[in-house]
Amino acid sequence: MAELRVIGSGSSGNAYILESNGEKLLIELGVAWKDILKSLNYKIDDVIGCLVSHKHGDHANKDTIKKVIQYGIPIYSCEETREIDERIINIKKGRKTSIGGFKIQPIPLQHSCECFGYLIETQDNQRIVFATDCCEFLYNIKNVNHWLIECNWSEEILIDNMCNNAEMRSRHEHHLELNDTIFALKENFSSSMNTIVLLHLSNGNSNEEMFKSRISEELGFFNIHIAKKGLSLQLQDDF
Under rule CB under 5 A, residue 58 binds Zn ion: yes
Minimum gap (Å) between residue 176 Cβ and Zn ion? 11
By CB under 5 A, the count of residues binding Zn ion is: 3
Total length of the chain:
239
Under rule CB under 5 A, residue 55 binds Zn ion: no
Cα 181 to Cα 39: distance, rounded to the nearest angstrom? 28
Half-sphere exposure of 197 (CA within 13 A, CB side): 27
The residue within the footprint of Zn ion, chosen from 23, 28, 121, 133 (CB under 5 A), is 133
Number of Cβ within a 10 Å radius of residue 238: 7
- Region binding Zn ion by CB under 5 A among candidate stretches 18-26, 129-137, 163-171, 228-236: 129-137
Helices (H) and strands (E) in the chain, counts: 5, 14
- Region binding Zn ion by CB under 5 A among candidate stretches 44-52, 56-64, 93-101, 120-128: 56-64
The closest residue (CB) to Zn ion is: 56
* Pure H helices in 30-96: 33-39, 62-70
Residues 6+ away with beta carbon under 8 Å from 2: 18, 19, 20, 122, 124, 126, 128, 146, 234, 235
Amino acid letter, 57: G
Minimum gap (Å) between residue 180 Cβ and Zn ion? 16
The residue within the footprint of Zn ion, chosen from 56, 127, 146, 172 (CB under 5 A), is 56
Residues 185-214 that bind Zn ion (CB under 5 A): none
The radius of gyration computed from the CA coordinates of the chain, to the nearest angstrom, equals 17
Under rule CB under 5 A, residue 172 binds Zn ion: no
Minimum gap (Å) between residue 45 Cβ and Zn ion? 30
Minimum gap (Å) between residue 197 Cβ and Zn ion? 16
Minimum gap (Å) between residue 142 Cβ and Zn ion? 27
Please give the residue ranges that form the binding site for Zn ion (CB under 5 A).
56, 58, 133
